[in-house]
Structure 1
Amino acid sequence: MTGPDPLPGAAPAQGARRRVVLLTNPAAGGGHAQKAARRAAVRLRARGAEVLDVVGADPQDAVRVAREAVDHGVDVLAVAGGDGMVALALEAVAGTGVALGIVPAGTGNDHAREYGLPLGDPEAAADVLLDGRTVTVDLGRVETADGTVRHFGSVLAAGFDSLVSDRTNRLRWPRGRMRYNLAILVEFAHLRPLPFRLVLADGTVVERDLVLAAAGNTRSYGGGMLICPDADHADGLLDLTVVRAMPRLRVARFFPTVFRGTHVHHEEVETYRTASVRIESAGITAYADGEYVGPLPAEVTVAPGALRIVVPA
């Protein structure tokens, strides 16, 4: 990891004008992201920044627009939204040297939590874009069985949680958070041991019936669940958390401990630190940054120093 670098142009009073592209998906967060983007843009312009507001028609269009912005040269590519929008932006900035900024406006906001960004305050997030510093951090990289290749910033997971996400995406009722809660109940009722095979970078093979396996570049997913509580986003390694199969009642007692990160002390949990892991399990999909990636098997690696991100000074 290189040391933190002062952001160029962080003092508009000295005449500098930061070129900021502010990317938004209008469908994200029920329109909340677009409102946050407007408030952040007003603050940025009031402080002398040059802001280009960009709205993607859909997620694919957002990635295209973000890549075009990076290719044309900007100081910061900022996204207003949650972890899904951050995941889209990663594909545009990974390895380019262009800094990523975040105006948190999602449900989970795990990237924002990891880097200490202000939640629920678009003006404060805009101030970070101008007054903050950039740090160089790692990204995860995953390739799934269908050939999909993606970077991720937080956690990749497969098992019970990915089954819940699959079912949530299939349900058409109810709406919002209740749909996810219903999916949890249905999948919990069908909970079964899931045979996994994991191959680590040093050749270690882990074959277990699992509840889930998670590879973390950062500590949390799902809105603050500390699934990989000791992960370091700049150590060149992934933290792997493996939860062995257990009876339903024990699972119900287990999951609340994930929010505190104390689950790693349970006898059913194994943790590893590795530069790569191959994750195999029949009929299971992988999700990263809360978004669907593809079916297992998946080759998961770390991309050291692949991201520059703006954080509070």
Structure 2
Amino acid sequence: MRVFREGAAARLLARVAVLAAVGAVAVLVRTLGEGGLLIAGAVLLGLVGCAVGVWWFVAYRGAVRLSGALVALAAPVGVLVLLTQEGLWQTASVLGLFWGATMASARAALRRSRPQRSVRAGVAPRPRRPVLIMNPKSGGGKVGRFRLAERAEELGARVILLDPAVATDVAALARRAVAEGADLLGVAGGDGTQALVAAVAAEHDLPFLVVCAGTRNHFAMDLGLDRSAPDRCLDALTDGEVLTVDLGDVGGRPFVNTVSFGVYADVVQSPEYRDDKAGTALSLMPDLLLGDKVRRLDARVDGAVLTSQQALLVSNNPYVSSDALSGGRRPRLDGGELGVLGIRVESAAQAADLAVRGAQFPGLTIRTAQRVEVSAGTDEIPVAVDGEALRMPTPVVCSLRPGALRVLVPRGRPGAVAPAPPVDWRRLLDLAWGRTATPEGDTRA
């Protein structure tokens, strides 16, 4: 019954989206001689101008960078001023409302037509000898602020506090804990530390506990954990369930989120990056994008070949977003596929083309794969693994270990939010007046 209700709601929303789109076109056609064409042209030029300004800002220094900042700011302001002076702001507002309703209804319809399939949870016996590794410095001191060590010990866990001033092999700590009888391993720290200990847990077929005490906690977010309350993750020790998920591997090192090659990987290698991320990126970008330090990557993605990429992102299961470059979320962590995003932008014209065409831009590649092999014409290349700066010998191979990791999570967690899907007009029209997609992704008349 719920499937049919969701299908009916998706069909209704799809029809609303189509009607709103027709309304926007009707308004534009009706006002062609009264400024409709000017509105469309102004908005398009504003988008292009903003993209060009952003490119100049990140790819150059000095006067060109300043000019880029001014252009990026002036483009949308100029559009508003032009529409106001021409007396077209009311028409533009109506068009904006119609288009906003179109996109909101379309994404809601597509999301409902394919509801998120959550990872199936299994029964989790209460661990008797859990061991948690905690980094007091991670996330700006969340371990201390939320009293995570004290709370974990109250629930019967043994806590190993890392010394931020001393380099520690957390994988060795985890293996020692297993040798001493641990029946669960967990981490309160960043995603890089999570991955290293998770690999040890997977190696010994032990459950793994994620305590979201890092800065971004992407892995925790896609597991459906409450990132604003890391202490709630510890509830899994007494009332938990197990999710079986995939674990990534890059050159023999595990990863839970992403592996980055190219521009971002080069930026994070800088010693100044940790203390000043934005400033370091802006300082290095011109050389990395167009200067002497620019690095070109070649990749074999299963049977396909990508050449001369400026940046390449490989993820443990694909990220989904209405905007291919916005990151988004992973609707599943057990799909058994790597996500691949490659990009090549070399000029202001291409940046403008990317802004207009989005995922259709020829310099943007979005794929899934079982295996990705990356090379760059050098013996080794910089790699950012879950945000950690490393160097690896080439070729660097990324793969996936399906179902390798059992993650213990609390029953009372918020759950993962389904990402907004990209708008596929053919599918939307099929949904509105043709076939309705079932939650499994099949279509039935």
Alignment counterpart, residue 334 of structure 2, candidates 225, 231, 234: 234
Alignment counterpart, residue 7 of structure 1, candidates 124, 146, 171: 124
Indicate conservation of the 8 Å contact 1:105/1:120, yes or no: no
* Deviation (angstroms), 1:181: 0.8
* Deviation (angstroms), 1:248: 5.3
The match for 1:214 is 313
Q: Residues 153, 298 of structure 1: CA spacing in aligned structure 2 closer, same or farther, 3 A cutoff?
A: same
Does residue 1:128 correspond to 2:225, yes or no?
no
Indicate conservation of the 8 Å contact 2:190/2:217, yes or no: yes
Does residue 1:156 correspond to 2:259, yes or no?
yes
Q: Residues 153, 230 of structure 1: CA spacing in aligned structure 2 closer, same or farther, 3 A cutoff?
A: closer
Q: Residues 273, 60 of structure 1: CA spacing in aligned structure 2 closer, same or farther, 3 A cutoff?
A: same
* Deviation (angstroms), 1:4: 2.4
Alignment counterpart, residue 200 of structure 2, candidates 68, 73, 92: 92
| Counterpart code for 1:106 | G
* Distance in 2 (alpha carbons) for counterparts of 1:75 and 1:286: 33
Indicate conservation of the 8 Å contact 2:269/2:390, yes or no: no
Mean CA deviation greater in 241-250 or 117-126: 241-250
- Give the superposed CA RMSD: 3.1
* Distance in 1 (alpha carbons) for counterparts of 2:240 and 2:219: 16
* Distance in 2 (alpha carbons) for counterparts of 1:253 and 1:64: 49
Indicate conservation of the 8 Å contact 2:309/2:342, yes or no: yes
The match for 1:293 is 390
Q: Residues 50, 251 of structure 1: CA spacing in aligned structure 2 closer, same or farther, 3 A cutoff?
A: farther
Q: Deviations over 1:138-186 (max 9, x none)?
A: 111111xxxxx2011111110111111112x2x38xx73xx11112101
Does residue 1:195 correspond to 2:312, yes or no?
no
Q: Residues 54, 100 of structure 1: CA spacing in aligned structure 2 closer, same or farther, 3 A cutoff?
A: same
The match for 1:22 is 132
Indicate conservation of the 8 Å contact 2:260/2:384, yes or no: yes
> Secondary structure in 2 aligned to 1:303?
strand
The match for 1:186 is 283
* Distance in 2 (alpha carbons) for counterparts of 1:265 and 1:70: 49
* Deviation (angstroms), 1:189: 2.1
Alignment counterpart, residue 140 of structure 1, candidates 244, 248, 262: 248
Mean CA deviation greater in 109-118 or 266-275: 266-275
> Secondary structure in 2 aligned to 1:50?
coil
> Secondary structure in 1 aligned to 2:238?
helix
| Counterpart code for 2:391 | G
Q: Highest Rg: 1 or 2?
A: 2
Q: Deviations over 1:235-288 (max 9, x none)?
A: 221111111223258659979xxxxxx964544321121111101124641111
* Deviation (angstroms), 1:228: 7.1
The match for 1:14 is none
* Distance in 2 (alpha carbons) for counterparts of 1:123 and 1:253: 46
Q: Residues 286, 54 of structure 1: CA spacing in aligned structure 2 closer, same or farther, 3 A cutoff?
A: same
Indicate conservation of the 8 Å contact 2:184/2:201, yes or no: no
Segments of structure 1 that go 5 or more residues without pairing to the other structure are: 10-16, 144-148, 256-261
Does residue 1:51 correspond to 2:157, yes or no?
yes
Does residue 1:81 correspond to 2:180, yes or no?
no
The match for 2:227 is 119
- Quick check: which one's helix share is greater? 2
* Distance in 2 (alpha carbons) for counterparts of 1:120 and 1:229: 17
> Secondary structure in 1 aligned to 2:205?
coil
Percent of aligned positions that are identical: 27
Q: Residues 246, 285 of structure 1: CA spacing in aligned structure 2 closer, same or farther, 3 A cutoff?
A: same
> Secondary structure in 2 aligned to 1:119?
coil
Segments of structure 2 that go 5 or more residues without pairing to the other structure are: 1-117, 320-324, 412-445
| Counterpart code for 2:370 | A
Q: Residues 119, 232 of structure 1: CA spacing in aligned structure 2 closer, same or farther, 3 A cutoff?
A: closer
Runs of 4+ with deviation above 6 angstroms:
252-255
* Distance in 1 (alpha carbons) for counterparts of 2:190 and 2:317: 16
> Secondary structure in 2 aligned to 1:60?
coil
Indicate conservation of the 8 Å contact 2:143/2:188, yes or no: yes
* Deviation (angstroms), 1:75: 3.3
Indicate conservation of the 8 Å contact 2:318/2:338, yes or no: no
Q: Deviations over 1:168-221 (max 9, x none)?
A: x2x38xx73xx11112101222223642211123x22222x323111111456x
* Distance in 2 (alpha carbons) for counterparts of 1:61 and 1:136: 26
Q: Deviations over 1:3-33 (max 9, x none)?
A: 4212102xxxxxxx64321212344345x14
Q: What is the TM-score normalised by the length of structure 2?
A: 0.56
* Distance in 1 (alpha carbons) for counterparts of 2:314 and 2:407: 21
- Quick check: which one's strand share is greater? 1
